[in-house]
Amino acid sequence: MNKRSLGRSGISVSEIAFGGVEIGIPYGIGVENQDDMLSEGEAIHLLHAAADSGINFFDTARMYGNSEQIMGKAFKDRRGKIILSTKCVHLRSADGLLADSKKFKTIIKDSLADSLKALQTDYVDVFMLHTADEEILNNAEIARVFSDLKNSGIVRAIGASTYLPAETEKAISASIWDIIQVPFNLLDQRQEAFFSLASQKGIGLVIRSVLLKGLLSERGKNLHPALKKVEDHIGSYNGLVNEIATDLPTLAARFALSFREVSAILIGMDRMEYLYKSLESANGVYLNSTQKTKARQLAYPDPAFLNLHTWSQKGWLK
């Protein structure tokens, strides 16, 4: 497994990062409840297999159910070999209201303390804002609390997880975040506009939604009629698959890894076969400039429509 620098942080990470949401909560197309998930023992076995295969970067969050606890049990005896990234609790309530600024320090520090306890460690390598919108990114108190935690040594690097391009631009311009986690994939390529600027500022880019919750896999077939245009568009990648990869998930992973500005790509894993497929994808041979141009031309024409949360609310993902 090749490794890349995580921006200016001084941390070296595997090209594939283990996305820990699936081992903590029901997540992804076709995953409805706990019955569809791995047991704790199975999840620990998968985490060990990933680490033994060369993956050293593991991503989790306070909001991912039991994910932190499971990683804590899996890695308590091999902490020095593992790069752990976790995210703070959401700073907005369920009704969308932002917490009182006077409470930010307590909320963030308590969240980190809970993460450290669950992960069975006395530091985390990366501590991130979860769902960092523009208002949150503009808040000086939030930035100060994260910076203070980094300066204290309890956190090696700080970051922000963004969704919209405007949020990513704001996070980069703030110049305090070491790492930014962004959604980017074959269908939705909007975030590429900020790759070069992030690299110039020494910010590590971690890519998530590479498979768009499994949409860019066999799960992206026989979708709800409202998603027919999306399903038809996914079929347009068949030519590139035949040219570059063995299947669509491999193409999707290699496309994201083709960008030198990218430090790592997050792949959610809840099956051993997904681990093997991820390892096969990260073989160091990625898309050349001509192939990347072809892939860019096949971006979905209306990326704003690709909102899986909205699709789920409408019942389109059942």
- In the predicted model, what is the mean pLDDT of residues 292-302? 97
Single-letter amino acid, residue 121:
T
Mean pLDDT for 213-242 is: 93
Which residue would you say has higher pLDDT here, 59 or 274? 59
Is 35's pLDDT higher than 80?
no
pLDDT of residue 102: 85
Give dist(CA 122, CA 212) in Å, integer. 33
The predicted structure's pLDDT at residue 105? 95
pLDDT at 28 over 80: no
pLDDT of 173: 95
Strand partners, 5: 12
**In the predicted model, is pLDDT for residue 253 greater than 90?**
yes
State pLDDT tens for residues 145-181. Answer: 999 999 999 999 999 999 999 999 999 999 899 999 9
Give the whole-number percent of the chain exceeding pLDDT 90: 85
Tokens of 173: 């311009």
List the one residue out of 202, 194, 154, 200 whose CA is nearest residue 177. Answer: 202
pLDDT, the chain, mean: 94
Predicted local confidence at residue 19, as pLDDT: 95
Closest CA to 71 of 126, 120, 125: 120
Q: How confident is the model at residue 42 (pLDDT cuts 50, 70, 90)?
A: very high
How many Cβ atoms sit within 10 Å of the Cβ of residue 284? 9
CA distance 208 to 211: 8
How large is the average pLDDT for residues 135-140? Answer: 96
The answer to which of 31-35, 134-138, 255-259 has the lowest mean pLDDT is 31-35
Distance in angstroms (rounded) separating the CA atoms of residues 212 and 28: 9
- pLDDT at residue 317, rounded to an integer: 86
| Alpha helix stretches (DSSP H) within 96-210 | 104-119, 134-137, 140-152, 165-174, 195-200
Q: What is the CATH number of domain 3-220+259-284?
A: 3.20.20.100
78-126 pLDDT, tens digit per residue, is 999 999 999 999 999 888 889 888 899 999 999 999 999 999 999 999 9
- Locate the domains of the chain by residue range: 3-220+259-284
Region of residue 102 (phi > 0: left; psi between -120 and 50: alpha; otherwise: beta): alpha
